[in-house]
A and B are shown apart, each in its own frame.
Chain A
Amino acid sequence: MADLLAIGTRKGLWLARSDDDRRTWTLDGPHLLAQEVAAVGIDVRGPVPRLLAGVQYGHWGPTVTWSDDLGATWSETDEGAIRFPADTGAALARVWQLRPDTAQRPGVVWAGCEPHSLWRSEDGGRSFGLVRGLWDHPHRPGWEPGGGGGAVHTVLPHPTGERLVVAMSTGGVYVSEDGGGTWRPRNAGIGAVFLPEPAPEYGQCVHKVAVDAGDPDRLYAQNHFGVYRTDDAGGAWTSIAEGLPADFGFPVVASPTTPGTAWVVPLVADAQRVPPGGRLRVHRTRDAGATWTELGAGLPDAAWTAVLRDAVCVDGADPTGVHLGTRDGCVWSSRDEGESFTLVADHLPDVLCVRAARLP
């Protein structure tokens, strides 16, 4: 049994492997050298683990590529995995999210992309179809690009039902209860400090959303200022930022096993995207956001860097591991739910995304 940590960076993909329950890691790479890897997925539902990477071939455009041999070889289809239909007049700019669905829906993989769009694959990520229900939403002309571009960056399929939750910058949270056919904005209570209307129906810059382990109606959101929770799948959001040193940041992840447990990585503000005081730390709640505890023994002080929205992940091991990468190319791993971290890699390019999985 081994643990795999996939690290997507601005200039390639690295794979860290641990054979001693995440105590030590061996780094393998670069794979896909000189290609931006903004999204990575590890699909362990099939007979062999499949790595999925959303890549940008420098000058030569974006696509999805996959590897069934842990990075030794990579494949893509002739047509390209994600192609906007001709009638849209659009072209893929970047793949922001690759999310294998549950074991009950084998072969289904979701992709969130720029321009704002959601895609569904039924062949394990080789090819995707545009989810028209979201693309044709009347709000779409009002979705603006955030600082990194206009994209669906978060896709959360329901563990058992047909619900889909997406988040986008900007646009906010949208929820479908019918597998993607129809969508409603679900942003009530989430602020938008950059808009004249303090609480618009949509248009928020929600940076990341995570689902609670015990209740799929309970979601956590890290917003462009503000950390929120909903207990009714987005019907109403309430602030859970009290107790945090700052309410700005990009990632939020939830425990896959322990209800009420989630982590954020605060940054000072949008105009100061650095950890408060330069101290890189995670903050964990055990009570669904009522209280927060600063953690991170082993994480550096004087770290004037940032952690991007997909550069934190949790694994499925026991106890839960928390892994994070920084814009200055460091990767840290915790095997004790964020209490302490060890350095996995440094001097990599900017870390854009990390994903972890226990290999069968």
Chain B
Amino acid sequence: MTVEVLLPGVLADLAGGSRRLAVDPADPTLAGLLDALAARHPVLERRIRDEAGALRRFVNVYVDGDDVRFAAGLATAVPAGAVVQVLPSVAGG
């Protein structure tokens, strides 16, 4: 199965310059997707998830438009053909 990952421009350099990645997770969950991402782009994955496995506080992830924090978090299902978008939250300065 293939999932499309959309990245903000600030992270594109960590994905070979691309803001769109096609990823084939072995486990069809967000955690499985991030594991697959870590194997290809380890620094990119570290920007999204900390070493304890949690999504970083100010990083939001949407699966087909739905915020995973209001779904099952890292256990949110990521079916074939899903679009997973990573966005920085409204914070900082």
Please give the residue numbers on chain A whose beta carbons come within 8 Å of chain B beta carbons, in ascending order.
57-61, 63, 76, 78-80, 83-84, 86, 89-92
Residues of B within 8 A of A80 (CB): 43, 46, 51
> Is the CB of B11 closer than 8 A to any CB of chain A?
yes
Minimum Cβ distance to chain B for residue A266 (Å): 30
Partner of A91, one of B10, B42, B47, B52: B52
Q: In the A-B complex, list the 9 residue pairs whose CB atoms are closest, starting with the nearest.
A: A60-B47, A91-B50, A59-B58, A78-B42, A91-B52, A59-B88, A83-B51, A58-B92, A61-B56
Residues of A within 8 A of B89 (CB): 59
Q: For the complex, give the distance between the alpha carbons of A79 and B51 in Å.
A: 9
Given A84-B52, A91-B52, A91-B54, decide whether A57 and B47 contact each other with a Cβ distance below 8 A.
yes
CB-based nearest B residue for A10? B93
CB-based nearest B residue for A78? B42
CB-based nearest A residue for B87? A59
Partner of A59, one of B46, B51, B56: B56
Minimum Cβ distance to chain B for residue A360 (Å): 32
Minimum Cβ distance to chain B for residue A66 (Å): 14
> Is the CB of B22 closer than 8 A to any CB of chain A?
no
Given A84-B52, A89-B52, decide whether A63 and B59 contact each other with a Cβ distance below 8 A.
no
Partner of B42, one of A57, A79, A84, A89: A79
Residues of A within 8 A of B42 (CB): 78-79
Given A78-B43, A79-B42, decide whether A59 and B50 contact each other with a Cβ distance below 8 A.
no
Q: Which of B1-51 contact A (CB under 8 A)?
A: 10-11, 42-43, 46-48, 50-51
